[in-house]
C-alpha cells in the first residue's frame, strides 16, 4: 500500500470514529430492510389470485404480481393461539409446550431454554419491533398476540413510526376482519361488489343449501373487506417512502373458519396463503410450489435482516440470496407436519403428514366424533347446525355424512392429487400399504425427534378458567388422565 492510500484508509477510519453514533447507525441501517408481516386471521388461499371463483381481491392480486405467490404454504396448527405461538418462535408449538389452545395464560409458564421470540433477536440486532394497531387511515390492527405462554415486552411499540430516525423495523400487523364473529354482520353493506351466493363454489362435503351458500359468501365478503385494508396499508408504505425497502409478507394464521376447516388437519384448516414482495430483491410475477411451513417464516425473516437463525430453531430458511443479491426460493422440505390438540374445552390429539401427493392423519382419540361438543362452533357455525339437521332428516350425501360419523378412523390416508377434498380414505387399501407405512414412520420419527409434548396429559392449571369449567361440566376428559382432572 502506498503512502497516499495508507493515509486515505487511516483518514476514513478516523472519520468513522469521530462520526456521531446516530449518523453511524443510520448509515449502517440504510440497506437493512424493514419487514412488515401481515397476518389475516382464519383464512385459506381463497383469493382471486389463487383461483377462487366469485371473490375479488385486487390489492392482494397486485401484491402477488409484484412478488412471489406460494401455493404450498401450511401452518403447524389449525387454531390461532397454537399457530401464532409457533410462528413467533420458529418452533413447533408441540416442542415448546404451547400446543393446547388458550393454555398457560394464568400459570406463569415460560418458553423452555434457549427458545426466544424472534422479536428478541430483532431487537438485539438493532431493529424496532412493533405490533401494529394504527395500521392506516380507517384500518386498525387487532394487536393480537395470543401466545400460549408468558412473555414480557414482546414488542417495542404499536407502530413503526415510533422508532428512532433511520432505525429498521420488524412489524406484525394482524387483521381480524376474516375471523368469524360480530364483525361479519352487515358485510354486504360495506362492499360495492358483494359476493353473490349463487356464484360461489362449495366443497362437496357441504350441502348445496341457501344457508351454506350464504355463509360461504359471507366469508368471502370478509376477505374482500380485508383486501381493501391491505390496499390502504400498502398505500401508507408508498406515502411514507418505505415501500422500496420493506419486505411485505402476507399470510394466514391458519385455515378458514368453517366445518372441516379451523381446528382440523384437513387442508381447509392448515393450507394458507403466502405472498411476499421485496422490490429489487425478489423478482416479480413468481409462482412457487415449494413446501413452506409457517415456522419457516421466522427463520427466513431473520436471515433477510442479516441475523443468523439460532441453531435450535425448527423453522428453515426458504429464501436465500443468489447472484447480484437477488433472493430466490430454496426447497428444503419434502413434507410438512401439523398438529391439533385441545381447542377450547374440546379435548383431542391429531397429527398429520402432508406430502405433495398424500395426506396422512392419525387420530389418537378416534372414539371422539368430529362433532363432539364445542360451544364456539355450536354458537358460530350456521353450516354445522344445518348439517346436523339435514343429517337427522337423512338428506346429506354419503360424502357430507362422513363428518357426522359417531367415531373417527384411527388413521386416514388421502391421495391429494386425485382427491383434493380428502374424501376417500385409503388407509385400509392394500394398494397403498407401502405409502401408509412410510407416512407412519415419518410421523413416528417426528414425534420422537421433536419431543412432541402432546404425548403427555395437560396440567389442569394450564387451562383457562372458562375452559376448566366447561371440561368439568361436560366430563369430557379421557379416562386415563390424572385424577386431578376429575376434581
What gap in Å lies between CA 162 and CA 428, rounded to an integer?
58
Is 49 in the active site?
no
What gap in Å lies between CA 218 and CA 216, rounded to an integer?
5
**In this predicted structure, what is the pLDDT of residue 483?**
46
**In this predicted structure, what is the pLDDT of residue 237?**
98
- Residue owning grid cell 420422537: 448
What gap in Å lies between CA 146 and CA 132, rounded to an integer?
14
Active-site hit among 49, 80, 343, 352? 80
**In this predicted structure, what is the pLDDT of residue 27?**
52
What gap in Å lies between CA 112 and CA 371, rounded to an integer?
34
**In this predicted structure, what is the pLDDT of residue 30?**
66
What gap in Å lies between CA 281 and CA 327, rounded to an integer?
6
Peptide bond into 114 cis (omega under 30): yes
Cβ contacts of residue 174 below 8 Å, gap of 6+? 39, 40, 41, 131, 141, 142, 143, 144, 253
What gap in Å lies between CA 38 and CA 173, rounded to an integer?
5
Q: What is the DSSP letter of 112?
A: P
Is residue 66 a contact partner of residue 49, using CB atoms and an 8 Å limit?
no
In the chain, what are the domains? 33-332 (3.40.720.10), 337-458 (3.30.1120.10)
> What's the Cα-to-Cα distance from 290 to each of 68, 194, 328, 388, 430, rounded to whole Å?
11, 33, 11, 38, 30
C-alpha grid cell for residue 261?
376447516
Helix (H) or strand (E) holding 38: strand 34-40
Per-residue confidence in pLDDT tens, the chain, 487 aa: 454 554 454 454 544 454 454 544 455 566 799 999 999 999 999 999 999 999 999 999 999 999 999 999 999 999 999 999 999 999 999 999 999 999 999 899 999 999 999 999 999 999 999 999 999 999 999 999 999 999 989 999 999 999 999 999 999 999 999 999 988 988 988 899 999 999 999 999 999 999 999 999 999 999 999 999 999 999 999 999 999 999 999 999 999 999 999 999 999 999 999 999 999 999 999 999 999 999 999 999 999 999 999 999 999 999 999 988 899 999 999 999 999 999 999 999 999 999 999 999 999 999 999 999 999 999 999 999 999 999 999 999 999 999 999 999 999 999 999 999 999 999 999 999 999 999 999 999 999 999 999 999 998 889 998 898 888 887 776 655 544 444 4
Helix (H) or strand (E) holding 238: helix 210-239
Q: In this structure, what is the dihedral angle of CA atoms 70, 72, 73, 75, given to the nearest 10 degrees?
A: 170
User: With b meaning 16 or more CB within 10 Å and e meaning fewer, what string describes 284-296?
Assistant: eebebebbbbbbb
Nearest CA to 142 out of 89, 80, 96, 201 is that of: 80
C-alpha grid cell for residue 8?
486515505
**In this predicted structure, what is the pLDDT of residue 487?**
41
N residues, the chain: 487
Is residue 117 a contact partner of residue 151, using CB atoms and an 8 Å limit?
yes
169: three-class secondary structure by DSSP: strand
Amino acid at each position: 500500500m502506498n503512502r497516499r492510500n495508507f493515509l486515505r484508509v487511516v483518514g476514513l477510519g478516523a472519520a468513522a470514529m469521530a462520526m456521531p453514533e446516530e449518523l453511524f447507525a443510520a448509515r449502517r441501517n440504510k440497506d437493512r430492510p424493514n419487514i412488515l408481516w401481515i397476518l389475516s386471521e382464519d383464512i385459506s388461499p381463497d383469493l382471486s389470485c389463487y383461483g377462487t371463483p366469485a371473490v375479488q381481491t385486487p390489492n392482494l392480486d397486485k401484491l402477488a404480481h409484484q412478488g412471489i405467490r406460494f401455493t404450498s404454504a401450511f401452518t403447524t396448527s389449525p387454531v390461532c393461539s397454537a399457530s401464532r405461538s409457533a410462528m413467533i418462535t420458529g418452533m413447533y408449538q408441540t416442542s415448546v409446550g404451547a400446543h393446547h389452545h388458550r393454555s398457560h395464560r394464568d400459570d406463569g409458564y415460560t418458553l423452555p431454554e434457549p427458545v426466544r421470540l424472534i422479536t428478541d433477536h430483532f431487537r438485539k440486532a438493532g431493529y424496532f419491533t412493533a405490533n401494529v394497531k394504527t395500521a392506516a387511515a380507517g384500518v386498525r390492527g387487532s394487536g393480537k398476540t395470543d401466545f400460549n405462554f408468558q412473555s414480557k415486552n414482546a414488542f417495542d411499540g404499536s407502530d413503526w413510526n415510533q422508532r428512532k430516525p433511520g432505525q429498521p423495523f420488524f412489524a406484525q400487523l394482524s387483521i381480524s376482519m376474516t375471523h368469524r364473529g360480530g364483525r361479519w354482520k352487515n358485510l354486504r353493506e360495506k362492499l360495492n361488489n358483494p359476493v353473490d351466493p349463487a356464484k360461489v363454489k362449495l366443497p362437496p362435503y357441504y350441502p348445496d343449501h341457501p344457508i351454506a351458500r350464504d355463509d360461504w359468501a359471507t366469508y368471502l365478503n370478509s376477505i374482500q373487506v380485508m383486501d381493501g385494508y391491505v390496499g390502504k396499508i400498502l398505500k401508507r408504505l408508498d406515502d411514507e417512502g418505505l415501500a422500496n425497502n420493506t419486505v411485505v409478507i402476507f399470510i394466514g394464521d391458519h385455515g378458514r373458519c368453517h366445518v372441516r376447516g379451523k381446528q382440523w388437519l384437513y387442508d381447509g384448516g392448515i393450507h394458507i396463503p403466502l405472498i411476499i414482495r421485496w422490490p429489487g430483491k425478489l423478482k416479480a410475477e413468481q409462482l412457487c410450489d415449494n413446501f413452506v411451513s409457517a415456522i419457516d417464516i421466522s427463520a427466513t425473516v431473520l436471515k433477510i435482516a442479516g441475523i443468523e437463525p439460532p441453531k435450535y430453531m425448527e423453522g428453515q430458511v426458504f429464501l436465500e440470496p443468489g447472484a447480484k443479491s437477488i433472493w430466490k426460493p430454496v426447497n428444503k422440505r419434502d413434507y410438512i407436519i401439523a398438529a391439533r390438540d385441545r381447542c377450547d374445552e374440546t379435548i383431542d390429539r391429531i397429527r398429520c403428514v402432508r406430502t405433495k401427493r398424500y395426506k396422512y392423519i392419525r387420530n389418537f382419540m378416534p372414539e371422539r366424533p368430529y362433532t363432539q361438543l364445542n360451544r364456539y362452533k355450536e354458537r358460530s357455525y350456521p353450516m354445522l347446525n344445518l348439517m346436523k339437521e339435514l343429517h337427522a332428516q337423512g338428506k346429506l350425501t354419503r360424502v357430507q355424512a362422513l363428518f357426522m360419523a359417531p367415531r373417527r378412523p384411527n388413521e386416514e390416508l388421502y391421495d391429494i392429487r386425485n382427491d383434493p377434498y380428502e374424501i376417500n380414505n385409503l388407509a385400509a387399501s392394500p394398494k397403498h400399504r407401502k405409502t401408509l407405512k412410510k407416512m407412519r414412520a415419518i410421523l413416528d420419527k417426528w414425534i420422537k425427534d421433536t419431543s412432541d409434548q402432546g404425548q403427555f396429559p395437560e396440567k389442569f392449571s394450564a387451562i383457562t378458567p372458562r375452559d376448566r369449567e366447561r371440561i368439568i361440566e361436560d366430563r369430557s376428559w379421557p379416562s386415563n388422565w390424572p385424577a386431578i382432572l376429575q376434581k
